[in-house]
Amino acid sequence: MPEPHTHVPFGEAVRAWTRIALQSFGGPAGQIAVIHRVVVDEKKWLDEPRFLHALSYCMLLPGPEAQQLVTYTGWLLHGVRGGLTAGLLFVLPGFLTILALSVTYALYQQTTLVTALFFGLKPAVVAIVVEAIVRLGKRALTRRSDYAIAAAAFLAIFTLAVPFPLIVVGAALLGMLREVLRPVAAGGAEGAAVIVRPRIGRLLRTTGIWLLVWSVPFLIIMLIPGRSPVLLQEAIFFSEAALVTFGGAYAVLAYLAQQAVHVYHWLSPTEMLDGLGLAETTPGPLIMVVQFVGFLGAYRSPGALSPLLAGVIGSVVTVWVTFAPCFLFIFAGAPYVEWLRGRRQVQAALRGIMAAVVGVVVNLALWFALHVAFGTVVRMPAGPLQLWVPDVSSVSWPAVGIAAVALVAVLRFRAGLFVVLLGGAALGLAAVRLTHP
């Protein structure tokens, strides 16, 4: 563990983490920019190389990189209590906001106003996801073989329904194989000279503590009388999902949607889009959409509990098992950052995964777009393939039009997140009023 920066008062750091949390809109790119502005430009707690060093490590991990980055920075400043404070504060505003919106959505989903707002928000979200593809592609696809891995990942998940974890493993193996076949540049791997000697005792102790923390929801669920089996399903599923969220929330959303909608039937495709819209418009990591999924799943299968109580418990369980691993990865792995970065094969595997992530996000965008543009979309077998096929007669031209306007706003005029989402909501209200006066 590093020596804490004792010249930074803990209270001042808490105020900074709170400020960052309340400004953490716009997905990971915008959130990382806010963290950089406060930590590097304004407070000067870290210099540019140290910040980029931390960011590089966080981008190698599964989970929301912005939340892990702020946790890592808090750990550098004040040790474990600093990391816990920074990481928890980063999640708290979004958790409270989405919980309130989830309750509102469950109780008033059928009202005209809510329906109209989400009718416009969903096409705007499609445009935001497309913009994410462009951004990810510029960063991840730098070689011809990257494009090949991305295309293979897209075909695997879109036409064969290959589970996302298998795609991650395959992409990592392809990335390592590619590195083996590539000639080594003179001088060896970058950063290989800086290696942190492993401390097995500390690693085992930290890992044990956080595995125990991670398991707390399972123990609590088992003690709830009259609990629904959905709560345990959510705890298990989202624990697994937390380990495969390489590439950020957009990458794993296709996997989450596939399982939550088509396997567990916790919510519909339209509701999954609604949840993404909620997560896009609230502070905190975009992966907080899992809270909405967890709430609705438990709300609709409450067992002997009241639906609202079951929904709240589902929210807490889902968020707990999603973010507990983030603290485990930072507190157990941060002392080994230089060792990880100095290993050529580790970097090669992660480059392969990042290329595959682009293909997975393309699948996500297409899946969202089909469900926004068409009222009926079914999965049909075609030999070994499983294809999403829309009913062309169910096309929603207003939704298509809103998506087109949002795409132009995002890609041509670089409109901000709030402008696009508020504009989509306004157009949705107008469209619903014109078609249902």
Nearest by Cα to 432 from 105, 114, 104 = 114
Assign 185 a pLDDT band (cuts: 50, 70, 90).
very low
Helix axes 65-108, 289-300, angle to 10 degrees: 40
Assign 25 a pLDDT band (cuts: 50, 70, 90).
low
pLDDT confidence of residue 251: 61
Cβ burial of 398 (10 Å; 0-12, 13-18, 19+) is middle
Q: Tell whether the model's pLDDT for residue 52 goes beyond 90.
A: no
Indicate the residue type of 1: M
Q: Tell whether the model's pLDDT for residue 369 goes beyond 60.
A: yes
Under 8 Å between Cβ of 129 and 372: no
Cβ-based neighbours of 159, under 8 Å, separated by 6 or more: 385, 386, 387
In tens, the pLDDT along 234-252 reads 999 999 888 876 655 666 6
pLDDT confidence of residue 133: 80
In tens, the pLDDT along 187-208 reads 443 433 334 466 788 889 999 9
Top mean pLDDT of 40-49, 101-110, 165-174, 314-323 is at: 314-323
Assign 27 a pLDDT band (cuts: 50, 70, 90).
low
Under 8 Å between Cβ of 369 and 158: no
Under 8 Å between Cβ of 152 and 387: no
Residue carrying structure tokens 């806010």: 34
pLDDT confidence of residue 18: 94
> Most distant CA pair in the chain: distance in Å?
71
Neighbours of 105 (CB within 10 A): 20
The average confidence (pLDDT) of the chain is 83
Euclidean distance between CA atoms 121 and 281, whole angstroms: 10
Euclidean distance between CA atoms 378 and 389, whole angstroms: 5
pLDDT confidence of residue 375: 85
Rg of the chain taking only CA atoms, in angstroms: 22
Q: Tell whether the model's pLDDT for residue 111 goes beyond 60.
A: no
Assign 126 a pLDDT band (cuts: 50, 70, 90).
confident
What is the four-CA torsion angle of 248, 253, 255, 260, rounded to 10 degrees?
A: 140
The larger pLDDT score, comparing residue 49 to residue 76, is at 76
Q: What is the mean predicted confidence (pLDDT) over 115-125?
A: 79
The larger pLDDT score, comparing residue 338 to residue 24, is at 24
pLDDT confidence of residue 274: 82
pTM over 0.85: no
pLDDT confidence of residue 45: 92
In tens, the pLDDT along 372-399 reads 899 888 878 887 887 888 999 999 999 9
In tens, the pLDDT along 326-368 reads 999 999 988 776 565 556 777 788 788 878 878 877 887 888 7
Q: Tell whether the model's pLDDT for residue 33 goes beyond 80.
A: no
Token pair belonging to 59: 């981008």
Assign 68 a pLDDT band (cuts: 50, 70, 90).
very high
Phi, psi of 382, deg, nearest 5: -140, 80
